[in-house]
Structures are given as C-alpha cells and as structure tokens.
Amino acid sequence: MIRFEKVSVTYEGAAGPAVRGVDLEIPEGELVLLVGPSGVGKSTVLGAVGGLVPHFTGGTLSGRVTVAGRDTRTHKPRELADVVGTVGQDPLSHFVTDTVEDELAYGMESLGLPPEVMRRRVEETLDLLGLAGLRGRPLAGLSGGQQQRVAIGSVLTPHPRVLVLDEPTSALDPAAAEEVLAVIQRLVHDLGTTVLMAEHRLERVVQYADRVALLPGPGAAVVVGTPAEVMAVSPVYPPVVGLGRLAGWSPLPLTVRDARRRAGRLRECLDGRDGNRSGRGTPAAAPSSASLPTALSSPSPPLPASAAPRRAGRRPLFRRGSGPAAPPLPAAAAQVAEVRGLAVRRGRVQALRRVDLTVGPGETVALMGRNGAGKSTLLGSLVGLVQPSSGSVRIGGAVPHRTPPRELVRRVGLVPQEPRDLLYADTVAAECAAADRDAEAARGTCRALVGELLPGVVDGTHPRDLSEGQRLALALAVVLTARPPLILLDEPTRGLDYAAKSRLIAHLRALAADGHAIVLATHDVELAAELAHRVVLLAEGEVIADGPTAEVVVSSPSFAPQVTKVLAPQRWLTVAQVKEALR
Amino acid sequence: MRDAGVHPGAWWLWALGLGTAATRTTNPLLLGLLLAVSAYVVTTCRPDAPWSRSYSAFLKLALAVLVVRLVFAVVLGSPVPGAHVIATLPEVPLPHWAQGIRLGGRVTAEGLLFAFYDGLKLAALLVCVGAANALASPTRLLKSLPGALYEMGVAVVVALTFAPNLVADVQRLRAARRLRGRPDRGVRGLLQVGLPVLEGALERSVALAAAMDARGYGRTADVPAGIRRTTAALTLGGLLGVCAGTYGLLTAEGEVYGLPVLLAGLAAALTGLWLGGRRTPRTRYRPDRWNGRACLVAASGAGVAALLTLAASADPAALHPGVVPLTAPVLPLWPAAAVLVGLLPAFVAPREPDAPEEPS
C-alpha cells in the first residue's frame, strides 16, 4: 500500500539529508508504528506519504514514494486526498471550517462526492468516533481529545485507504488517548485501513502495532520488525519494556498484562526490598510513606538512587499531603505557595472551585487530571495571569496578580505549554542577555544556565531552529535566571523523546534538591512517577485527591505508571527504582 | 436544527435592507428604533457560536465611529452655521494655502447635533452589518457561492479569520511578557510582540494551506480544452462588455449602445462562470435551503428599505429633522411603523436550541 524506495530528503539550507535511504513497505491493513528519538526525521517520513514533503515543505526528495500505486512525485497532495488522510500534531491548525459537521464534510466536498453519500458518511463517522452529541458545536470550543477525534474523523470521511497520524495522543490525557487509540484500532480491524503513526509515548501505543519501524538515528537505516523484536534494540522504549530488558525476559512484554504474567519471580526477588510491607493492606497506617522510609530501615542497603537526591534533607515533605484539609504544619510559615479557597470563572465556565494547595520548598507537585480540568488555570493563577474570582493566592506572601511583573519573576516562574511564547530574540545569546536584564541578574547568568541545561548550543542559533526539547530547556533557563523559589511547568514533556525527558527529569531533580519548589501540570504518568513527591488530581475545577505520588497513583487505574501496574501490590514507580533495588 | 435554520443569504438581505433604511434618514429616533429592532432580532435568533459574539464588537466599533465624528466636528469645526455657541476653542492660525480648513474655534450646538445625526447614521449601518455577521457566519454564506468562485471565497474567508487569530496571539504573547518580568501593558509591549505574532500567524497560514491541500482543496476535473478556452473567452469578454456598457451608460453619447452592451456582457460573464463551475468537482454538503421563512426574513428587510425610501421622498422633513434652527426631532408615525416590520424575523425564524452544557 505504501512503498518507500531509497528515499532521501534534504531540506533547503540543511547540512545533510533529514532522512537517508529509507526502504519500507507497508502492506494493506497494517498498523505500523514509526519510532525513534527526536530529530531523526519521523515527521518527514510521515509527510512524504501524503506528498506534503516535498510539495509543501520544499527540499528535494530522491528515490520514490508510492501510495496505492500513485507516485507522490507526479501527484500533488490534493490528488492523493482520496487515498491518504493526514492528521498533524496540532488539530487546530488542521481545521478549515468552524463546526464539527462541516469539518467532517469538507474533504468529501472537495472530492465531489454526491450529497447522499456525504450525508450517510457524516452520520456514520459521528457514531464511529462518538461525536454525535457535538455535531453542531464550534470547533474552537472543544477539548483537546474531542478536537483530535474530529481531526481524525475529518480525514476518515472520504474513506482513505491510508491514515497517517503524527503524535495523535501526545497532547491528550490518558483517558482521551485511550479513546483515540480505540478508534484507530477499530479502523484497522473493521475497515482494513492502513495506518502509519508516529508517537513518542510508546507506553500508550506499542501494543497496538502490527509492526514497528525504527529510525535509530539521523541518516541511519530503518529497522522494521515485530514490536517485541524492535523494542529489544530500540533506543526508545516504554517502561514496561525497560522492566522486561532489566529482568531479561524474552520475548519482551509489550503490555502490562504480558509483563504481569512473567513478573512473579521478579516480585519475589523484590519482596522485602521496598515499602510494600507498609503498603500492603494498610494504607491508612502509613499515610505519609512513599516507599522509602522503610527502605532506609531495611537491611538491604541501597535506597533507589533515583529517589535519593530528591529525598535528601527534606523531612517535612513526608508529613505533607495527607489531604487538602491538612492542618498547617509547623513549617507552614515557610510555604512557597499557598492557595486557599480559590475559585476562577472564565466566561460561562467555572474553571476552578474551592481549590486549596500548599507547596513547600524543595517539593515537587504534579497536577493531573483530564484535559480542561483546570490545571493550566491553576498554574495561571499562581503566576498572576488569571485573576481569582474568590479565594486567595499567596506566593511567598505576595499576591501574584497585584505584584508588578518585574518583582514577580523573582518569586515564581512559569514555563508555558508552548515554550516558544517565552522567547522573543533572534539568537540564543540575545535571549540570554535579555533574560539577564529582565531579571536584573549578573551578566552571563542565563548563558551559564543554558550551558548546563543545553551543552553544545551555539550562541548564534535561532530559538526557532532548536528542537522541542532544546527550546523547553532554553525557556527553563530563561525562567531560572531570576532564581524564583517556585517553578511552574505546563505540560513539559509534550513532544519530548525519552532521552530529552530523562535529561529534563535530572535537571528538575537537581533544582528540587536545591530547594526550589516545582509544580508541573502533566498528562504523563511516567513523568509524575519519576519526579513528583505529591500528586494533586483535579476534576472539573476541584481537587479530588492530594497525596504522596505512590498513594494517589497506585490507586488509580488510569494514572498508575506501568511499573506500578506490573509490580502491584508492591509499590514501585519506576524502572530505575527497581534496578537499584536489584543491585 | 440545521434544516430549520434560515438561509444565510436571507439574513444578509434582511440586514442590508435595514442598513439601506438607515441611510435614508437622519432622524435619531428612527435610527434608534432601527438599532433596537436589529438588536432584538440578533438576541433572539443568533446561534451560540463564536462568530455570533461579533455583534458586540460591531457595537463598539459603531460607538467609536460616532465619537470620532463628534471629535472631528469639535476640532475641525462644522460647515453648519449656528448661533448657539457652547465653547470657543483656541483657533490655530493656518497658512494661506490651507484656506477652508479650520482648527479649533467656535463649537456650536447646531454643528455638534448635525455631526451626531450624521455619525449615528453611519453607526446604524455598521451595526446592521454586525447583525448579519452574528446571525449568519460568512462561511455559511460562502456555501451558496457558484462553484467557480468558491475557491476564491475560501481564500477570502481564511484571510478574514487571520485577524481574530492575530488578536488571540497578541493576548497570549503579552501574557507571556509578564512571565519574563516585563510590563504586559503599554505600547512598547505591543511592539515587541509584533514580530513573533506575525511569524506565528504566517506559520499557521502555511499549516492551514498544507492541511487544505492534503484534503483535496483545489482539485480540478478534466475538462476538454475547447470548453476551457470558451470559458476564458466568455468571462473575459463578458467583463469587458460590462465595463464598456457601464461607461456607455455614464457618458452622454453612449445612451444608445450602453444598456444592450452591459446586458450582453453580463450574460457572457455569467455563462463563463457557469461553465467554469464545471471544472471544479466540488459538491455541497447539506446546502442551506431557501424556504418560506427565508423569503419572509428577506422580504421584511427589503420592506423596511422600500418603505423608508418612499417615506424619505414623501416627507423629507420628518426623516431629516433640521438643525438650524434647533428643533427637537419628532417620531414620524408611519416610518416608525415601517421600521417595526424589521422585527418579523424574531417571530418567524426558529430559535436555536441551547447547546447542551458539556465540559470542554
């Protein structure tokens, strides 16, 4: 159905080809997952299927790409529209019309299908994607998951034989991601659609793939095989595979179910080395324990290295988080952020109601909840972008929305969802100089931070040319220049591969060990498991759970990380913890 | 609910009818009544969609126009002679060549009132356009364009969405300035975000173009070369004919050939458009139907326009209250009743059911 023959793509002005010598054949009805670290050309490969590369992006393509027998060199994207449906990373930039129903019909109108057929297919697609209740709604008012489903639906209605998806679940909460993936699976199984999909969050998708195509590095040859084969050699892999590699299981498990079946011996090995004794059966008896205090007292020596730095010297931490109504601790005076009874209205929507939250120095809090639960609004009100309609917010004693920005940067810094918003200058060096001026910091402060976070970045680089992860690091450096005691991050791992993510995690841990308080809004359960001391769950603007990560996360089927699910009822969160314990 | 809706063209005809009526009078009472009528219809009939919020934006724009007109009357003076001096501003002496322009000087009640009437007329016209925008999105109107013009229409609509997106970007980036510790208000802040905003808008436009192309925008059907050439010839020839005909009608010598040439040109151009439509294979999904309700809505607008035009020629004094000498305007009964005809859509058009509250 899709055939790549020795395809190389070189963009204008680039030193080398973005992808080189790709040979790939995808038969009809197969779901193929394209994986690889950031910047290896996954998007280029995806774009080449629909003809957008090189017709729209420019550059030169050598070799041949054929889709359903049509050569993309001689067929423009519009002439492939009836066989290929492409959905990019940002559904909003994909929409042409303004309501759900019109959007679903748009592609068919362009192809000139008869009105009766269009009518029938729109109804079918509305049902297939569960959008019937939203048919007349304006697109701009939908949640992220709904928008993603509409975007997929809009390319489905012309009944393309190939579906190309670039990171379809990255921006979605776990439940919405499941929804979208269920639809994709149904298309493959029921309609025989061929799907080529790229996704960084492998833990969500790898078990659905028939085959995996791995781009191991820039310019390297593609490795194609069954998911288990490819995961054994892939530089990027989900935690469940990491656990499988650690335990030496073969073939590698791809799902929690597979892994659990084999994990009996591992669980025995680990028994007694973690906090499972305190966890088993008596959660109430140990409300404050993350697994570690027990590990400390147990004879088997090492406490997980991953956890060690963040735990050091922060005893008050273990007492906090017994619930939103926790009485003020002795250390309460030193709280970095204090939110009491916060309510925020945005237009007709009550975005937050009666939210209480305290964050102490050195503490890392993860805000989780579905799209639109109020996470970003809460971060916005902590940094004074959003005015509370009632209740109070205090950041080290100051009221954020009344504090002049110049002063506020020294108290709290936010890295927004789109780090690019924070960057104005043409070069990294100019950006750093501006950050130093803004924060009234000594000259070179920001550059030094960039050097730490982003080794090897040249001064003259344009922020736009950085990769997603590098841009995030630059924005973080800009925010850190003022050394705010409270750092907020909104969805920091969107678009990051595992390597970039683990670098980010290391930085944030170091910051927390330094005494910075960190609050991050995220859908990434693995990130929360690795990093957060406390998890706060939001739903419809209310705090529905607030407690130590191990407790909140373990008890939730959708927010538990894979390692927790595999090793339950023991309380492990990450592969790194398990690795240390086994040593 | 879609089938029950009124054809967007009907809404635009209704609003344009009201707008035409507004240009026929300067009576502030009649204009006020006209505004009230349009506002009532908009609030009862508008759907719950982003574009329907544009009505308030148009109201603000109309108010700004009114204020600007008044400021001009104060600063630049008014040609209307007046005896009631409200204030005397210091007059700026201008050089000889700027004769006829005055800066400052006497501000008279008559001049101000005249400017107010005049501004109100313009404001009412703007509000009527706003009403059309709120009741029927321009995109919906687009669906009724002939096939050959459709793609041009899409380009225009995409260009129109550029502005609201730009405003949203500016707001987001100004908020981000606050995160950098820079003041988020003031002109300098606006200037500094200018470049990133434009870059972002450009990028989004390219992304949208790619998305549209990938979904088949601009596909053409194979049409025999003969028909293609005929289309081009008919369209070009027709447009030339229209130009020549209009010129003929406007000049004294061309009275004989003016009208026939104009009509022939128009016919040729329309045939060209119709033939051109065969090149695009587009079909329409659930096109809006022109039904009885649409007729009533359009007719009520046209009725208001026709009646007020009639009234303006029958009784100009009532529709254009004098300002010299100052008189209180009176509400002429029959024209007022005619304006109320414009309320008809509020009763015939179906109300959009409230969208169910769903978290988004």
Mark yes or no for CB contact A143/B139 under 8 Å. no
The CA-CA-CA angle for residues A522, A526, A529, to 5°, reads: 90
Q: Which is more confidently placed, A242 or B50?
A: A242
Position B352 confidence tier, pLDDT thresholds 50, 70, 90: low
Q: How far are the Cα atoms of A335, A376, A387 from residue A396, in angstroms, in the given order?
A: 7, 20, 18
Beta bridge partners of A212: A33, A225
Cα separation, A108 vs B278, whole angstroms: 17
Q: How far are the Cα atoms of A441, A462, B197 from residue A476, in angstroms, in the given order?
A: 15, 16, 21
**What is the distance in angstroms between the CA of the first residue and the CA of the last residue of chain A?**
48
Taking CA–CA distances from B219, the nearest residue in chain A reads A78
Q: How far are the Cα atoms of A292, A323, A491, A548, B123 from residue A533, in angstroms, in the given order?
A: 11, 14, 17, 6, 59
Q: Is the pLDDT of residue B37 over 70?
A: yes
Mark yes or no for CB contact A56/B210 under 8 Å. yes
The predicted structure's pLDDT at residue B254: 66
Domain end marker among A214, A240, A266: A240
**What is the full DSSP assignment across A46-79?**
HHHHHTHHHHTT-SEEEEEEEETTEETTTS-HHH
* Token code pair at residue B239: 């447009």
- DSSP helix/strand/coil, B324: coil
Q: Is residue A253 in some structural domain?
A: no
Q: How large a percentage of chain A has pLDDT more than 70?
A: 90
Mark yes or no for CB contact A385/B175 under 8 Å. yes
The predicted structure's pLDDT at residue A280: 35
Task: Give the phi and the psi of residue A24 in degrees, each rounded to 5.
Answer: -155, 135
- Looking at beta carbons, which residues of chain B come within 8 Å of A424? 180, 192-193, 195-196
Q: Is the pLDDT of residue B10 over 80?
A: yes
Q: Is the pLDDT of residue A290 over 70?
A: no
Q: How far is CA B171 from the centre of its chain?
A: 26
Q: Using the 8-state DSSP alphabet, how is residue A565 labeled? A: H
Q: Is residue A274 in some structural domain?
A: no
Q: Are A381 and A392 in contact (CB under 8 A)?
A: no
Radius of gyration of chain B (CA): 26
* Token code pair at residue B218: 């601009």
Q: Is B192 on the interface with A (CB under 8 A)?
A: yes
Amino acid in position A469: G
Q: Is the pLDDT of residue A138 over 60?
A: yes
Tell me the per-residue pLDDT of B152-185, one tens digit each, with 9 for 90 and over: 777 777 776 677 777 778 878 888 888 888 876 6
Q: Is the pLDDT of residue A17 over 70?
A: yes
Helical residues (DSSP H) of A298-350, grouped into ranges: 308-311
Interface of B with A in 150-169 (CB under 8 A): 154, 158
Q: Is the pLDDT of residue A175 over 70?
A: yes
* Token code pair at residue A441: 């910091």
Neighbours of A370 (CB within 10 A): 22
Strands A211-214 and A349-359: unpaired
The predicted structure's pLDDT at residue B277: 79
Identity of the residue in A96, A424, A478 whose CB atom sits nearest the CB atom of B212? A96
Domain end marker among A219, A240, A261: A240
The predicted structure's pLDDT at residue A295: 35
CA nearest to A358, candidates A390, A328, A385:
A328
* Token code pair at residue A364: 């890392």
Q: Is residue A268 in some structural domain?
A: no
Tell me the per-residue pLDDT of A203-235, one tens digit each, with 9 for 90 and over: 899 999 999 999 988 878 899 999 999 999 998
Identity of the residue in B2, B355, B360 whose CB atom sits nearest the CB atom of A143? B360
Q: Is residue A55 in some structural domain?
A: yes
The predicted structure's pLDDT at residue B185: 66
Interface of B with A in 74-113 (CB under 8 A): none
Q: How large a percentage of chain B has pLDDT more than 70?
A: 93
- Looking at beta carbons, which residues of chain B come within 8 Å of A96? 154, 158, 208, 211-212, 215, 217
The predicted structure's pLDDT at residue B4: 52
Average pLDDT over residues A88-98: 84
Mark yes or no for CB contact B193/A424 under 8 Å. yes
Indicate yes or no: pTM above 0.90.
Answer: no
CA nearest to B338, candidates B313, B297, B310, B298:
B310
Mark yes or no for CB contact A98/B49 under 8 Å. yes
What mean pLDDT, rounded, does chain A reach? 83
Indicate whether this complex's ipTM tops 0.85: no
**Where along chain B do its domains lie?**
1-141+289-354, 145-218, 225-277
Provide the domain count of chain A. 2
Q: Is residue A472 in some structural domain?
A: yes
Domain end marker among A240, A265, A286: A240
Q: Which is more confidently placed, A394 or A285?
A: A394
Q: Is B206 on the interface with A (CB under 8 A)?
A: yes
Q: Is the pLDDT of residue A98 over 70?
A: yes
Place of tokens 């086994």: A582
Counted across chains A and B, CB pairs separated by less than 8 A come out at 176
Q: Is the pLDDT of residue A282 over 50?
A: no
From A41-45, B102-106, B155-159, B219-223, the region with the lowest mean pLDDT: B155-159
Average pLDDT over residues A53-78: 90
Interface of A with B in 17-76 (CB under 8 A): 50-52, 55-56, 76
Shared-domain flag, residues A404 and A530: yes
Shared-domain flag, residues A351 and A226: no
The predicted structure's pLDDT at residue A300: 33
Cα separation, A529 vs A567, whole angstroms: 14
Position B344 confidence tier, pLDDT thresholds 50, 70, 90: very high
- Looking at beta carbons, which residues of chain A come within 8 Å of B175? 385
Q: How far is CA B236 from the centre of its chain?
A: 29
Q: Is A105 on the interface with B (CB under 8 A)?
A: yes
Residue A289 C-beta-side C-alpha neighbours within 13 Å? 21
Beta bridge partners of A10: A60
From A84-88, A455-459, B190-194, B306-310, the region with the lowest mean pLDDT: B190-194
From A281-295, B235-249, B326-340, the region with the lowest mean pLDDT: A281-295
Interface of A with B in 442-471 (CB under 8 A): 464
Burial class (CB in 10 A: 0-12, 13-18, 19+), A90: middle
* Token code pair at residue A149: 């489903």
Tell me the per-residue pLDDT of B277-297, one tens digit each, with 9 for 90 and over: 777 778 888 887 888 889 999
Domain containing A228: what range? Answer: 2-240
Q: Is residue A318 in some structural domain?
A: no
The predicted structure's pLDDT at residue B186: 67
Q: Which is more confidently placed, B192 or A247?
A: A247
Q: Is the pLDDT of residue B21 over 90?
A: yes
The predicted structure's pLDDT at residue A422: 87
Q: Is B351 on the interface with A (CB under 8 A)?
A: no
Interface of B with A in 254-313 (CB under 8 A): 280-287
- Looking at beta carbons, which residues of chain A come within 8 Å of B54? none
**What is the distance in angstroms between the CA of the first residue and the CA of the last residue of chain B?**
22
Interface of A with B in 127-146 (CB under 8 A): 133-134, 136-138, 140-143, 146
Q: Is the pLDDT of residue A285 over 80?
A: no
Q: Is residue A294 in some structural domain?
A: no
- Looking at beta carbons, which residues of chain B come within 8 Å of A106? 215
Q: Is the pLDDT of residue B110 over 90?
A: no
Q: Using the 8-state DSSP alphabet, how is residue A533 labeled? A: S
Q: Is residue A427 in some structural domain?
A: yes
Task: Give the phi and the psi of residue B132 in degrees, each rounded to 5.
Answer: -60, -40
The predicted structure's pLDDT at residue B296: 92
Position A69 confidence tier, pLDDT thresholds 50, 70, 90: very high
What mean pLDDT, rounded, does chain B reach? 83
Average pLDDT over residues B273-278: 82
CA nearest to A494, candidates A471, A517, A461, A463:
A471
The predicted structure's pLDDT at residue B300: 94
The predicted structure's pLDDT at residue B184: 65
Mark yes or no for CB contact B359/A372 under 8 Å. yes
Q: Are A561 and A576 in contact (CB under 8 A)?
A: no
Give the CATH number, domain containing residue A508.
3.40.50.300
Q: Left, alpha or beta for A557 (phi > 0: left; psi -120 to 50: alpha)? A: alpha
